[in-house]
Amino acid sequence: MTRAILSLTATFFIGLMSFAQTPTSKANKEKFSAETVKTTIDELQKELSEKHPGFYRYTTETQFTAYIDSIKKTITDSLTLFGSFQKLKPIVAKINCLHTGISLPKAYLDQLNTRPNLFPFQLFFSENKAYVVRNFSDNNHILPGDEILSINGKSIPEITALLFALIPSDGYNQTLKYRALNLQFPSWYRNIDLTENFSILVNRNTMEKTYYISGAKFDDIAKDGFLKEPTRPKQLEFKIENNVAFLTIHSFAKTDIKNAKQDFKKFTDQAFEEIKNKNIENLIVDLRDNTGGSDPNAEYFTSYFFDQPFRYWDRIEVTETVAKEIKGLSLKLFYRKPIEKKGIWLWQKAKHTSEFDYYETQKPAKNNYSGKTYILINGFCMSSCADVAAILSHNKKAIFIGQETGGGYQGNNSGMLPVSLVQPFGFTLTVPLQKYTNAVNPLVNYGHGTMPDYKTEPNSDSILNHNDKEMQRALDLIFGAESVHQ
């Protein structure tokens, strides 16, 4: 999700920083006064408004202040660590930035994961409805495909609204939030209902029945791709079948690709060389669930779809506070001093890294591709992956199939991502310091991601039967509606 940029020196910091870990046993019993929680909220807003470059990107200062005041009015008594977290979490998500997050102390979270407090089902969410995908409970009467109508007295629409307020995404995007619920629902639900017992109302063929279910421990239900990051032997995959090229890029992240013992540029060069040598006229690129990574890799891939110089980013901004903190050894070795133009502080490309070069005009790749390209996208296309989709969509270089990308069409807030602790709670706070604006029309898809040319809506049946609707649509466009699923 995050960009692989340089680590920050101590010159950069977000307020409230302290590196004394909160003991877990103490955190379970200690309570924090209402005044302490409210003061922390006020200080958090002040620090973030000064250093987060997109703090008011999608929510005005007046709206944000009103929202914070509404949260503070609900704090009338002392709160536990978890209760305090429940107040701060939606405030951070309100920034509408998927790179900004706040988390419980690791020791506290680890202890939570040893308790049976997770809802023991994987669910699929669609239009305020939830369907069972996998049952990890001891009750075998609840089957895949059954609809969950309510949990512990709250309807699915109520639960969805509460969780959407906690899940960070760029702008007003909701496809990322739905994807997060589909793959991580038990962990998100625990944020609003920390319990070890669940009463669920289930609908099957219009017959409703209530079941009482015990919770599950994290290690008992977490699977590859469910509650855990998926592990893949290869991050990059390529093949040619029936005169169609299929290129899957699971990640642009250098570390992920290196761990898979692959070389991004070499792999990409070889794939497009083979496409050219075999005169392949149709290319399907699968970017679904690609949460981003290295900007050099993302830009390099994008360059293969241009035969003329092109723009990738329009600019990179920082706040005035951050711009003035850039000094000392880090400035001499890695960074250039931001410059101010018409009240905007513009980040300058670095001296010893190419990570910030892409606001300059870019060159097309040598063996650039001019055939028809179909790109599969969904809500977990984030960060640099979303940048790729936006640039190719803006320049009409591909046909997009699937759901709106989770990352913003106009860009995002990311770059350098310092992590600090919010005390006295020990919450981990991650804050991006740079605002990236893509070289696209600023009036198109504002507050949203890249929109598909052909929208597909997976349903519970397609999920349970493993029907790949996006891939099938791409093949239908190439071969006609009678094409056979690969």
Question: Which tens digit of pLDDT belongs to each residue from 246-290?
Answer: 999 999 999 999 999 999 999 999 999 999 999 999 999 999 999
Q: What are phi and psi of 223, to 5 degrees?
A: -125, 170
> What token pair was written down for 113?
């994961």
Cα distance between residue 408 and residue 313, in whole Å: 13
pLDDT at 127: 85
Q: Indicate if the pLDDT at residue 4 is higher than 80.
A: no
DSSP calls for 93-132: HTT--TT-EEE--HHHHHHHTTSS-B--EEEEEETTEEEE
pLDDT of 115 reads: 98
Compute the 3-state secondary structure of the chain and give helix, strand, coil in percent, each to the nearest 5. 35, 25, 45
Share of the chain above pLDDT 90, in %: 85
Q: Which H helix or E strand runs over 44?
A: helix 34-51
8 Å CB contact between 120 and 186: yes
16-27: buried (b, 16+ CB within 10 Å) or exposed (e) per residue? beeeeebebeeb
Write the CATH number of the domain with boundaries 236-421+431-479.
Answer: 3.90.226.10
295-to-46, 116, 397, 414 alpha-carbon distances in Å: 30, 40, 19, 11
Computed over every residue of the chain, the mean pLDDT equals 91
- Tokens of residue 455, six digits: 């929208």
User: Which whole number is the average pLDDT over 426-449?
Assistant: 97
pLDDT, one tens digit per residue, over 294-337 is 999 999 999 999 999 999 999 999 999 999 988 766 665 667 88
Note the pLDDT tens digit of each residue in 220-229.
999 999 999 9
Q: Are strands 399-402 and 372-377 parallel, antiparallel or unpaired?
A: parallel
From 24-33, 370-379, 442-451, the region with the lowest mean pLDDT: 24-33
Q: Say if residue 485's pLDDT is above 60.
A: no
SS3 327: coil
- Average pLDDT over every residue of 448-474: 94
Place of tokens 């920390």: 194
Taking a C-beta distance cutoff of 8 angstroms, is the pair 147, 204 a contact? Answer: yes
- The domain locations on the chain are 121-216, 236-421+431-479
Poorest-confidence range of 4-18, 148-162, 250-264, 359-373?
4-18
Q: Does the pLDDT of residue 13 top 70, yes or no? A: no
State which CATH number among 3.90.330.10, 3.40.50.300, 3.40.720.10, 2.30.42.10 fits the domain covering 121-216.
2.30.42.10
The average pLDDT across 369-379 equals: 98
Q: How confident is the model at residue 169 (pLDDT cuts 50, 70, 90)?
A: very high
Confidence tier at 355 by pLDDT (50, 70, 90) = confident
Residue 139 has pLDDT above 80, yes or no: yes
Q: Which of 293-307, 345-359, 396-410 has the lowest mean pLDDT?
A: 345-359
**pLDDT of 16-60, one tens digit each?**
333 333 444 455 578 999 999 999 999 999 999 999 999 999 999
> Which of helix, strand or coil describes residue 288?
coil
Q: How confident is the model at residue 481 (pLDDT cuts 50, 70, 90)?
A: low
Residue type, 209: K
List, in order, residues 6 or more apart from 113 with CB less than 8 Å away: 217, 218, 219
